[in-house]
Structure 1
Amino acid sequence: MTNPASATDLPFMEAFASPSLEQWRSAVEKVLKGADFEKRLVAQTADGIRIEPLYAAASPSARPARAEAGRWHVGARMDHPDPAEAHTLALADLEGGADSLVLSFAGARAARGYGLVADDVAALDTALDGVMLDLIRLRLDPAGGGRINALLVAALVERRGLAPDAVAIDFGMDPIGLLASEGRFAASWPEIGRRLAGTIDALRTRGFKGPFVTADARLYHEAGATEAQELGATMATAIAYLRALEAGGMALGEARDAVSFVLVADTDEFMTIAKFRAARLLWQRVQQACGLDPKPMVLNAETAWRSLTRRDPWVNLLRATVATFSAGVGGADSLTVLPFTAALGLPDAFARRTARNTQLVLLEEANLWRVADPAAGSGGFEALTRALCEQAWSKLQDLEREQHEGLGGIVAALANGHVQQGLARQRQTRIKAISTRREPITGTSEFPHLAEAPVGVLDIAPVKRVKPAMPTTKAAEQDQGALIDRLARGAVRADAVTPPAQGLNAEPLPSVRLAEPFEALRDKADALTKDRGQRPLVFLATLGPIADFSARAGFARNLFEAGGLAAPGHDGFSTGAATDIAALVAAYEASGARLACLCGSDAGYAAEGAAAAQALRKAGATVWLAGRPGDLEGPLNNAGVASFIFAGCDVIAALENAQEIASAETAAP
């Protein structure tokens, strides 16, 4: 890292005095004109971490970095159910610049109902035909039957005659993640740990280097987790694996080397960068607490599923760009960008190409990889990283204290509902922020596009998985190395299935996208439009000249269109400074709408609001008003105003009510 520039390097800087914090604060106070500094300029994250408007420069401290300097690995998902089609898409990804494939078998949560159907090595070989496994990285998505998926991939390597230590494969086994996402263990946790250790031992004996197990944060993120909750749960999962593998006879250092991580890169640039930096610090601290000499963590990233939208999905390209930048700056070893149409179905070649190119542009043109830690020394990032470490460590300790039927840690916290309850509280908080648009979603809750054209996805139905018949020989009692040999010779998935035993149950974590409440409203409005031939309509009853009503009319139109209701604009009905109430009512009657929303200035509401509301109510309208009524609420209610919409109101509830009122207008007269 270079030293700060000296005066000789930047001589022009001598012409400028360095302002003090007190001078800056004094200037800010003048601009605020008595407004509260804390409320206006200090924000808080979902974890309660303060975000100050100004930070002093920090001295970069030594922190763990990536094991490999240079570019992060560009990942592409391999999740088409048909092996031949999956092969075509994978080759296009690799030829287009990807150097890593994320193999998502059918049944993987991240496959979203799709996923590669490969019940034997032949099908897997077809999907990976022409893919040089010793020249790329392969990562398996956690899935039910993850042990079998790992053995199938190992069998393919052996069938092709490749040296296991020459391939880079992250086998992605994550039974704790399956407990969290599916709500069950197929056996007791000690037995699960024993099987996991046995499978890893078989793979290591063959020469595979791993990692073998994954601490996957995606399922917690999709269930509403904050950054600290995500980090705390992920670290607790990794610790549980360390304990289980050590109990299975593995040296603690080897157990550490068997673990990799998947974190989510979201649209909050500052917090995503801080989260990735904090993750490495936390894992270093865990290793130190275990008495190990710390090694760099294997940190994979994927862009956020919960932030994707089905409406105006092109905005997802921008979300992915912010997330990619943040993961790159934060120090991810590999990154997989979800294609912008992923929430609509299985992405086509074009969507996959844009996902690759989002990374390639930042790598090749922005050269983002050339600085190891761009955030080092930034007062803001260093402060957020430290604060997030503290919050996440506290969450980790909370999880470690949980107990359930002789179990402890994250497994107990999932089984007794502690994790689910904490995430549910945070999910409700976020839903409220989404509903009130304090957390806006561009293209969905803000600036919706009612005339958007549909985008293409692959025409393929989700996969229906059939559980294989139970084998006569318990696979768990077979030698796992022998199973690899049998699979390489043509055995099928069913031959490696383990019959379920008395296990552990938990409430599954939901997978929720933030835009879903608004998308449901849009879907309902679109169905009404299709059935009745006309979109549900709201009449904007504007008061005064354009300058008086344009701001609130724009606000109202934006709000109603977020629920799929049309709210056409117009030039108003002013006659000088006043409003032609008769012309306004006539225009309302001609529109055929049932819902009218008054839009004007506060002065206009005081002067004409009651009269306009009475006239519209007499014409049969349900009358709303855009803005906070203040002292006029009583008189306006008495005049016929039934509801008020304003910044901070519950938009979802308002739109549900508006749809009920407005949908009647599409009926035949």
Structure 2
Amino acid sequence: MVRKEEQAGRQKRLTLDEFPIPDYKDWLKAVEKSLKGKSSNSLTFKTYEQIELKTIYSKTDGEALTDRERLMRSASLENRWEVSQQLAESDPQRFAAIAADAFKQGQTTLRMQWACPHQLAETVSQKGLNVSNLVDLETALEKIKWEQVPIFVQAGAVSFPTICFLAALAKKQRKDFSIVQGCIGADPFSEWVRRGTLPISTRRAFDQMAETIRWTQTHAPALKTICIQSTPYHDGGANAIQELAFMLATAVDYIRALLKRGLTIDPIASQIQFSISIGSSFFTEIAKLRAARLLWARIIEVFGGTPTSQRMVLHAQTSFQTKTLLDPHVNILRATTEAYAAIIGGANSLHVCSFNEATDPQDKQAQRIARNTQLILDHEAHGSKVIDPAGGSWYIESLTDTMAQRAWQLFQQVEQLGGMQKALLQRFPQQEIAKMAEDRKRNAVTSIDHWIGVNVYPNLNEIPRNDHTTTTYKSSKQSDALSNQFNKLKQQIKRKPTAWLNLMLEATLNGLTLYECYEVIDIAPPELTIQPIRPERPTASFENLRLAAAHYREKTGSWPRALLLKLGVQAKHQRLAVFSEQFLGIGGFEAVSSENFSTVEQAMNTIHPNLNKIVVICAAPKIEPLQIAHLARHLKSRNPDLCLLMAGLPAKEDLERFRQAGIDDFIHDQMNNIELLMQLQRKKGIRS
């Protein structure tokens, strides 16, 4: 009897019914109590998208999205993704070995970037695999069963020459090209935005896009031929809302152009894949991917597409914009965070940038670490084992809803301008992104945004490296026989314009080069030019400072130096001295500390300003402003060319006094780091 009562008591205790369920107000009280009287609003802040993030989110914040919309955010019931590392090698023979090893080590997609020959010359500086003719491609793929794995190539303005080469290789090797899957995707607007010009008119690009879709529907139905990228906007400094709006506006322009050419919405949608860059704001990037799926479903629904067509296929790649030349191993941490955001956001395939991609994209060890990052997140963090891992998070649900609404509003502004093509001609996206890029740079130079090893915690033991130089594409020289083949093909296409795809395929088997493929399809000067969107890394200006200082070190044998003049009790001025040392290190200056002077007179009798071009006064608070001004006048009188700085921002009443005494500037956390450091480098003769 006792045992039954004890068992009943245990069961009752396990229900936890005696604990009250706290509501939102209770949580706010707990937060404000921990803040010692401050309002919980003191913890709120705005993202680059001007979305205000609250302190606490509740169930009501996640109720804006309907059950149907939640379904649209995930492409499958599993969270599996393809390991789609871009294989960085220009030589076909070396590429073959790298590709074979990558697939043994966990790669699941053959992702290539071909050097682009579609310019008005036969030699073009462009990183990527050098494919001149069919022999080059056969060599590059000789060690893998390429037709049995997904293929991903971002093909530039037009995709059929790339498809043609692979189809010709399949025919030569007697392989079934109809089973080839993946994406060999054209994105003319992406090329347009990057370069400001296109190697083909937009009208002709859309004509070929439509013809390529019709051809692949018959010959390779599992192959997508359009890959719309957000990368040019992202790398230019765009925020997440701008990326979504401009990427989707591009898609709508393509859809309308293809509908005019006789295609219907479902075949068009089935041919489109998206490639989106993932930045460092973890939750924002998760919400960005989920919002993208939501908005794409709405767009295809409006065009009359089926629920199947409303499913978005998303390739994600970690951001190149967030990677730094300085302290590059920190890039491993940045890339890991970005990769995990992509996985939680539901990306279908993923490329992780190697940590030194900006300086040495062919570093095998760095490529291995990047690939293993994905494998660890899968096999050890079990990223693929959870269905819609972000689902149910009130914070992410609310962020997704807000981002989708604001991206839709910006998308509608583009539509009001006549679509993405007309918006680009009117410079609307360029101007919007330029404003955001300026915000990012301003936050970097004022250290609001911290970049480890760049604008905080610099490491002068590291010798920075320049960006890598691009490889050079060289088309094969035309023999007389090949020239005849090329001219014959041009004539055949004129007689049978609807059969040009099959004619080009046969000519490729007979030796047509990739360059000639582009020539055949009337690559010509563009009809329209636009203002391009150039890549803007917020850290580039800091890296230029350090590179200049490193060049100075090569010439002189040491880093440029500045003297830290310490006044007062060490414990009182140490914080200023450390801050100044960090600031100088950002610009490549080595800070040399003086002894601790207890009085201004000691400093005046010891310091020789003629031996130093830059002196930073680090004074304890108890040192009188009048004494500091006296010291400054003394140093300047002995060396008028001395650059004299003071650590910390003095009170307004002392500011003018110090300036009149000869102090040139002040080192503090609200200043523009770049401007002052450039002045110091000019003072040391590092730059003109």
TM-score normalised per structure 2: 0.87
Residue equivalent to 1:553: 577
SS at match of 2:322: coil
CA distance in 1, matches of 2:255, 2:201: 17
CA distance in 2, matches of 1:118, 1:456: 27
Residue 15 of structure 1, CA deviation? 7.3
CA distance in 1, matches of 2:145, 2:536: 36
What are the superposed Cα offsets for residues 481-535 of structure 1, whole Å, 9 maximum, x if unpaired? 2322332343222442223166222122212222110011111111122222221
CA distance in 1, matches of 2:476, 2:260: 31
2:410 aligned with 1:401:
no
> Quick check: 615-624 or 334-343, which moved more?
615-624
Residue 36 of structure 1, CA deviation? 6.7
Residue equivalent to 1:3: none
Q: Give the one of 440, 447, 453 matched to 2:450.
A: 440
What are the superposed Cα offsets for residues 332-377 of structure 1, whole Å, 9 maximum, x if unpaired? 0000011111111332111110110111111111111111222111
8 Å CA contact 1:214, 1:259 repeated in 2: yes
Residue equivalent to 2:646: 625
> Quick check: 258-267 or 194-203, which moved more?
194-203
Residue equivalent to 1:313: 328
CA distance in 1, matches of 2:227, 2:516: 25
Q: 1:583 to 1:85 in 2, by over 3 A?
A: farther
Q: Give the one of 338, 347, 359 matched to 1:332.
A: 347
> Quick check: 123-132 or 542-551, which moved more?
542-551
Q: Give the one of 53, 56, 64 matched to 1:54.
A: 56
SS at match of 1:641: coil
SS at match of 1:213: strand
Map 1:443-454 to 2 at 5 A.
443-452=453-462
SS at match of 2:164: helix
CA distance in 1, matches of 2:55, 2:202: 47
CA distance in 2, matches of 1:243, 1:303: 30
What are the superposed Cα offsets for residues 584-606 of structure 1, whole Å, 9 maximum, x if unpaired? 35664389431111224444464
Residue equivalent to 1:573: 596
Residue equivalent to 2:44: 42
Q: 1:549 to 1:24 in 2, by over 3 A?
A: farther
CA distance in 1, matches of 2:620, 2:423: 53
Q: Give the one of 386, 399, 421 matched to 1:411.
A: 421
2:312 aligned with 1:297:
yes
Residue 241 of structure 1, CA deviation? 1.6
Residue equivalent to 1:88: 97
SS at match of 1:309: coil
SS at match of 2:316: strand
CA distance in 2, matches of 1:9, 1:188: 75
CA distance in 1, matches of 2:342, 2:13: 32
Map 1:71-150 to 2 at 5 A.
71-107=80-116, 113-143=126-156, 146-150=159-163
Residue type at the aligned position of 2:314 = L
8 Å CA contact 1:214, 1:261 repeated in 2: yes
CA distance in 2, matches of 1:214, 1:273: 21
Residue type at the aligned position of 1:21 = Y
What are the superposed Cα offsets for residues 614-661 of structure 1, whole Å, 9 maximum, x if unpaired? 343344342211222123212222332211121121111111112222
CA distance in 1, matches of 2:163, 2:181: 13
2:542 aligned with 1:518:
yes
Q: 1:332 to 1:378 in 2, by over 3 A?
A: same
Map 1:373-522 to 2 at 5 A.
373-402=388-417, 408-452=418-462, 462-464=471-473, 472=487, 473=490, 477=497, 479-496=500-517, 497=519, 498-499=521-522, 500=524, 503-522=527-546
Residue equivalent to 1:613: 632
8 Å CA contact 2:159, 2:225 repeated in 1: no
CA distance in 2, matches of 1:137, 1:388: 32
2:30 aligned with 1:21:
no
Residue 663 of structure 1, CA deviation? 4.3
Residue 81 of structure 1, CA deviation? 1.6
Residue 543 of structure 1, CA deviation? 2.3
Q: 1:417 to 1:227 in 2, by over 3 A?
A: same
CA distance in 1, matches of 2:32, 2:635: 46
CA distance in 2, matches of 1:51, 1:363: 30
Residue 55 of structure 1, CA deviation? 1.0
SS at match of 2:151: strand
Q: 1:527 to 1:494 in 2, by over 3 A?
A: closer
CA distance in 2, matches of 1:479, 1:581: 86
2:616 aligned with 1:593:
no
Residue equivalent to 1:405: none
SS at match of 1:332: coil
Residue type at the aligned position of 1:250 = L
Residue 217 of structure 1, CA deviation? 0.5
Residue equivalent to 1:642: 664
Residue 548 of structure 1, CA deviation? 0.9
Map 1:222-371 to 2 at 5 A.
222-295=235-308, 296-371=311-386
SS at match of 1:140: strand
SS at match of 1:172: strand
8 Å CA contact 2:553, 2:559 repeated in 1: yes
> Quick check: 228-237 or 165-174, which moved more?
165-174
CA distance in 2, matches of 1:27, 1:606: 44
Residue 263 of structure 1, CA deviation? 0.6
Q: 1:615 to 1:83 in 2, by over 3 A?
A: same
8 Å CA contact 1:585, 1:619 repeated in 2: no
CA distance in 1, matches of 2:624, 2:326: 35
Residue 189 of structure 1, CA deviation? 2.7
8 Å CA contact 1:157, 1:164 repeated in 2: yes
Residue 546 of structure 1, CA deviation? 2.3
Q: 1:613 to 1:63 in 2, by over 3 A?
A: farther
Which has more radius of gyration?
2
User: Identity of counterpart residues, as a percentage?
Assistant: 26
Q: What is the count of residue pairs matched by the alignment? A: 646
Residue equivalent to 1:69: 78
SS at match of 2:110: strand
CA distance in 1, matches of 2:107, 2:620: 55
CA distance in 2, matches of 1:452, 1:232: 40
Q: Give the one of 192, 195, 212 matched to 1:179.
A: 192
RMSD: 3.0
Q: 1:56 to 1:9 in 2, by over 3 A?
A: farther
8 Å CA contact 2:180, 2:220 repeated in 1: no
CA distance in 1, matches of 2:644, 2:375: 52
CA distance in 1, matches of 2:410, 2:477: 39
Q: 1:624 to 1:35 in 2, by over 3 A?
A: farther
